[in-house]
Structures are given as structure tokens and as C-alpha cells.
């Protein structure tokens, strides 16, 4: 099924996100025949672009970032005819008439009333003004059902600002018109967590505190902050990755079984998890959370600058480029099971990995020399770059002695499917065009997620770090992060 006729307006049209992710995703959808019969993509911004020049700018992005860049059937010529540029000042209400005119023109040409998607790929401080102006447009007054607004992260800077933004947006639009995007929810492997858990009867009976010792989520990156120092200074790893992506993934792992795939049903179940996360007492933050910042050093044969030397960064910056937290979920299913999460820039590997570590066998009858570890007993879900699920268990090594040895039973996406994987933004843009908000965040989820990280943020901000920088590029982060988990007799898992 395809979306009905749609006009997509991309605010921040000349920006990085559009060039790298949004237009390449729309282009891939076009090649795969998921775009509506009638559609128009309109980039807006202050830069003075002709349509021609704007298209050229987007083509460069496609050539570099589209997974279909080498596609022989790539029909850029055809696709580009759907793209145009509207120069406008987002803070001038009169400039929004240009939007109404485009929608009216499309309606005339197509002979039907289009759905409209406003994608706000802009700096967060511009969102309130643009949203206010958009809400006043004729289209939003007349057709709320088919008018949608997509808001990029960061959604607020803290609990207070997220609440303010939610209250502003919900005053202007209905909740079901607002699509708060978290691109991790569009990743194939993240969506597959629901299939693994709820389309099989095998795992669910043991998916709880009776059988699971602990859960780990690692979202490690090898890149530093690149040219985003200005943004990152105000964010840090906890805001940039934990408050959104990691907590959303944690919800997929920990949620109860939904009774349907209806957007609010799934989102209710996730909100239940977020609500059950134990709020860390401010006096105990040190026990539950570790922050880090990378120094300079050699990584993969290249000398990397310290974070404090990056462009746009304060030379005495206290911003965290690494965060590790131990969470508890206080409900029946997860009572007493720690969820260790960690994320950071300039770490040893680019990897996003979920580990479900099962409990030790009740009685280990084998002689101790048979094996040193019971930790084989685990399921790992690799989100990226490897896309696989592996169940590691003990096997008897062939031979006359009883010697145990961990082995992996692996399901690999690439080995099992020839179909290419759609990128997260493809999936989410298609959902937004179809009016399916299941994989988007509801207002309450964003707020509870801020509540969860608030005590850590507030404590860190009130107590400047004394040991920054505290990890070398190419390492696994600060030593304290190892200690966080080692204190409990456990270790971080990385795949071989």
C-alpha cells in the first residue's frame, strides 16, 4: 500500500540532515515504488536557491549517502521533477502564504486534496515559532487528519523545556498530528525485537527476573563529535543518546506484550516501562552513573584531537562524550535485574549491541576444569553494523574429557535475506506519510524519559568533573565504567 497524494515540506531544506538522510531516504522510497502517485518535496530555508541549484545540492547528497547510489535504474531525472525550493523566513508569518499556495496548486494539478507533512529539520530554538505559524495555516484548520508535523530531536533540553515544548505543540496541533522522531525506532533490527519477543513463544516465558541475570545495551561510536561541537557542547552523551535512543531500545526489550500493533497500544506499553524505571536518588548518582570525555590520542593509526580541542568546544568543557548508567525497572517482570547501558564517542568500535544475560544453571554439576564460565548462557542482539542475533550456550568439546566450550547459534540478516535493508529514515518517513505513529514517540514518553535522566544531569551539571578528559580515543571509555559493572561481578560484553 502506498501513501495518498502528499506534499512534504522540509524546513531546514538546505541543511545537513536533509542532504544526508531525508532526501536520500525519499529517493530510495521512490526507487522502491513506495512514494505516492502524486507527491511534491519542498525544501524551505533562508538561503537563496534556484530550484535547479537546490536539486543539484540534493543530488550530491544522494550520490554520497543513498544506499541506492549505484542503482542502475536510479531515476533521478524523474525524481527531481518532484522537488522544488521555497525561500522563506520562518519568522515572517506572511512568508507562509507561499506554503498555502503550493498546497493549493498541488490540489489543482492532482485533482485531489493532498496530505501534508511538515518536517522540521531545524535548530530546536526555531521549532516553537515555525510550529505556531504552521498551525495557523488554512490546511491545519481544515484538515487535521491529513496534516502532520515531524519534530526532530533534541526534543527539549531537559524536563522543563520538553514540557514547555509539548504543551506548546499540543496547544497548536492534536497529539496524533505530532510525530516526534527517534531514528533508532526505524532501524530494522530494533523493530525486529518485537518480532523476536512476541512472534515466538520460545523466549517470553524466560524473559523476566526469574531467568535473566541482567541486560546490557551498548551504543558505541568510533567517530568523535566531528563538526557538531556547537550542538554537542549543549548536549553531551546522556542527552544525545541515552535520553532518547537507548531508553527507547530499553523499552523494546523490557515492555509487556502488546495486544495489538495499534500506535497507542505499543506506546502505552513503552510508557509503562519508562514509568517503572527507578528514579536515581541525587545523592547516589555516583553509584549508578559514570561520565567520560575523550582526550587526544592515536586511534586506528590516526592522531585524534581531545574533545576540548574540537571546533566549537570550550577548552575547559565539562560535557560528557561518554555515559554509562545502571537502571532498575521496578515492576514484577524486572524486579532486581540491572540494565547497564553505555554510549560514547571515539570508542573502540562502532557497535550497538543488546545483551540478555541469563542466570547461571541452578546446579553446575561439571568439574570446575570443564569450563570457567557460565556466561555463555546469553542472547545478543546486534543492531549495527552487524545485524544478527546470537544465542551463546555451552557445548561439549569433542573428545574423551568433559570439556565445555561456548558456541553460538547465529541468525544473520544478510545470510538469510537477499532483500536490502531499508534505512531508518525510509521506514519512518513512509510511516509518517501513511499516518502511522507507532514508531514515533508520544509526548508523555519524551517527558518521562527526561525525568529518568534528570537526577543524573542535574548532579553532573552542579558538580564539574575533576578528571576530564578521562579516556583515550579508541578505548572502551573511562575505567569507572568498567568498575560500575565489575562491582556487581559482571563485565561489559563485546562481540568477538
Binding site for ligand BG6 (CB under 6 A): 153, 221, 240
Torsion angles phi and psi, residue 146, rounded to 5: -110, 15
The CB-of-153 to ligand BG6 minimum distance in angstroms stands at: 6
Report the distance separating Cα 425 and Cα 465, nearest Å.
36
Does residue 57 have a known ligand-binding role? Answer: no
Residue with cell 545537513: 16
Pick the closest to residue 233 from 126, 318, 127 (CA basis). Answer: 318
Residue from 157, 245, 283, 346 carrying the catalytic annotation: 245
The CB-of-423 to ligand BG6 minimum distance in angstroms stands at: 9
Torsion angles phi and psi, residue 297, rounded to 5: 165, 175
Residue 325: strand, helix, or coil: strand
Does residue 153 have a known ligand-binding role? Answer: yes
By the 8 A CB rule, do 59 and 20 touch?
no
Which three cell numbers, joined as nine digits, stand for 471?
579516556
* Strand partners for 409: 391
Report the distance separating Cα 186 and Cα 209, nearest Å.
28
Report the half-sphere exposure of 344 (CA within 13 A, side-chain side).
30
By the 8 A CB rule, do 67 and 426 touch?
no
By C-beta, is 221 or 431 nearer to ligand BG6? 221
Does residue 141 have a known ligand-binding role? Answer: no
By C-beta, is 240 or 451 nearer to ligand BG6? 240
The CB-of-449 to ligand BG6 minimum distance in angstroms stands at: 14
Does residue 240 have a known ligand-binding role? Answer: yes
By C-beta, is 213 or 240 nearer to ligand BG6? 240
What are the start-end ranges of the E strands in 12-114? 39-45, 83-87
Contacts of 422 (CB under 8 A, 6+ apart): 28, 32, 188
Does residue 183 have a known ligand-binding role? Answer: yes
The CB-of-72 to ligand BG6 minimum distance in angstroms stands at: 27
Other Cβ atoms closer than 10 A to 222: 16
Report the distance separating Cα 21 and Cα 436, nearest Å.
20
Does residue 345 have a known ligand-binding role? Answer: yes
Report the distance separating Cα 215 and Cα 218, nearest Å.
10
The CB-of-121 to ligand BG6 minimum distance in angstroms stands at: 13
The CB-of-221 to ligand BG6 minimum distance in angstroms stands at: 6
Q: Following DSSP, what letter does each residue of 22-41 receive, concatenated?
A: IHHHHHHHHHTT-S-SSEEE
By C-beta, is 182 or 213 nearer to ligand BG6? 182
Q: Following DSSP, what letter does each residue of 200-218 receive, concatenated?
A: -SSSGGG-STTTEEEEEEE
The CB-of-310 to ligand BG6 minimum distance in angstroms stands at: 13
Q: Note if 82 is an active site residue.
A: no
Burial class (CB in 10 A: 0-12, 13-18, 19+), 6: buried
By C-beta, is 352 or 394 nearer to ligand BG6? 352
By C-beta, is 240 or 426 nearer to ligand BG6? 240
Does residue 350 have a known ligand-binding role? Answer: yes
By C-beta, is 82 or 345 nearer to ligand BG6? 345
Q: Which residues are annotated as a binding site?
A: 46, 153, 183, 187, 221, 240, 345, 350
Q: Which residues are annotated as a binding site for substrate?
A: 183, 187, 221, 240, 345, 350
Task: List residues with catalytic annotation.
Answer: 245
Q: Which residues are annotated as a binding site for NADP(+)?
A: 46, 153
Amino acid at each position: 500500500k502506498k501513501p495518498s497524494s502528499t506534499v512534504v515540506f522540509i524546513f531546514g531544506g538546505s541543511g545537513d540532515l536533509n542532504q544526508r538522510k531525508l532526501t536520500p531516504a525519499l529517493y530510495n522510497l521512490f526507487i522502491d515504488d513506495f512514494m505516492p502517485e502524486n507527491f511534491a518535496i519542498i525544501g524551505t530555508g533562508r538561503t537563496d536557491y534556484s530550484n535547479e541549484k537546490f536539486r543539484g545540492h540534493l543530488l550530491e547528497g544522494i550520490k554520497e549517502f543513498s544506499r541506492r547510489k549505484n542503482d542502475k535504474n536510479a531515476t533521478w531525472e524523474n525524481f527531481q521533477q518532484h522537488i522544488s525550493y521555497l525561500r522563506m523566513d520562518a519568522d515572517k508569518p506572511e512568508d507562509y502564504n507561499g506554503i498555502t499556495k503550493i498546497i493549493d496548486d498541488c490540489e489543482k494539478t492532482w485533482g485531489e486534496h493532498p496530505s501534508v507533512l511538515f518536517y522540521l529539520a531545524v535548530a530546536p530554538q526555531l521549532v516553537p515559532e515555525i510550529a505556531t505559524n504552521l498551525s495557523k495555516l488554512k490546511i491545519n484548520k481544515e484538515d487535521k487528519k491529513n496534516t502532520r508535523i515531524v519534530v526532530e530531536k533534541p526534543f527539549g533540553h531537559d524536563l522543563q523545556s520538553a514540557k514547555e515544548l509539548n504543551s506548546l505543540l499540543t496547544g497548536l496541533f492534536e497529539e496524533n498530528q505530532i510525530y516526534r522522531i527517534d531514528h533508532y525506532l526505524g532501524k530494522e533490527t530494533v523493530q525486529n525485537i518485537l518480532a523476536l519477543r512476541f512472534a515466538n513463544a520460545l523466549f517470553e516465558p524466560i524473559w523476566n527476573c526469574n531467568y535473566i541475570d541482567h541486560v546490557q545495551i551498548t551504543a558505541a561510536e568510533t567517530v568523535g563529535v566531528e563538526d557538531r561541537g556547537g550542538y554537542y557542547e549543549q548536549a553531551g552523551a546522556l542527552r544525545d543518546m541515552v535520553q532518547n535512543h537507548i531508553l527507547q531500545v530499553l523499552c523494546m526489550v523490557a515492555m509487556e506484550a502488546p495486544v495489538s500493533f495499534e500506535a497507542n497500544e505499543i506506546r502505552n506499553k513503552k510508557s509503562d516501562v519508562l514509568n517503572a524505571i527507578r528514579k536515581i536518588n541525587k545523592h547516589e548518582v555516583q553509584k549508578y552513573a559514570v561520565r567520560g570525555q575523550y582526550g587526544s590520542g592515536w586511534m586506528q593509526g590516526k592522531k585524534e584531537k581531545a574533545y576540548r580541542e574540537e571546533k566549537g568546544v570550550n577548552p575547559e568543557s565539562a560535557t560528557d562524550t561518554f555515559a554509562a548508567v545502571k537502571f532498575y525497572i521496578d515492576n514484577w517482570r524486572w524486579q532486581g535485574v540491572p540494565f547497564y547501558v553505555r554510549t560514547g564517542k571515539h570508542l573502540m568500535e562502532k557497535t550497538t549491541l543488546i545483551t540478555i544475560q541469563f542466570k547461571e544453571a541452578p546446579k553446575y554439576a561439571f568439574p570446575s576444569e570443564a569450563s570457567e564460565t557460565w556466561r555463555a548462557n546469553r542472547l545478543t542482539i546486534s543492531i549495527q553494523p552487524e545485524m544478527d542475533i546470537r544465542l551463546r550456550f555451552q557445548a561439549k568439546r569433542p573428545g574423551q574429557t568433559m570439556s565445555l566450550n561456548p558456541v553460538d547459534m547465529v541468525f544473520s540478516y544478510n545470510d538469510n535475506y537477499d532483500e536490502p535493508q531499508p534505512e531508518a529514515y525510509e521506514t519512518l518517513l513512509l510511516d509518517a506519510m501513511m499516518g502511522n505513529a507507532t514508531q514515533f514517540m508520544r509526548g508523555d514518553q519524551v517527558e518521562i524519559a527526561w525525568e529518568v535522566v534528570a537526577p543524573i544531569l542535574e548532579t553532573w551539571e552542579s558538580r564539574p568533573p575533576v578528571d576530564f578528559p578521562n579516556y583515550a580515543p579508541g578505548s572502551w571509555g573511562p575505567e569507572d565504567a568498567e568498575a560500575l559493572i565489575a562491582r556487581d561481578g559482571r563485565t561489559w560484553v563485546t562481540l568477538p
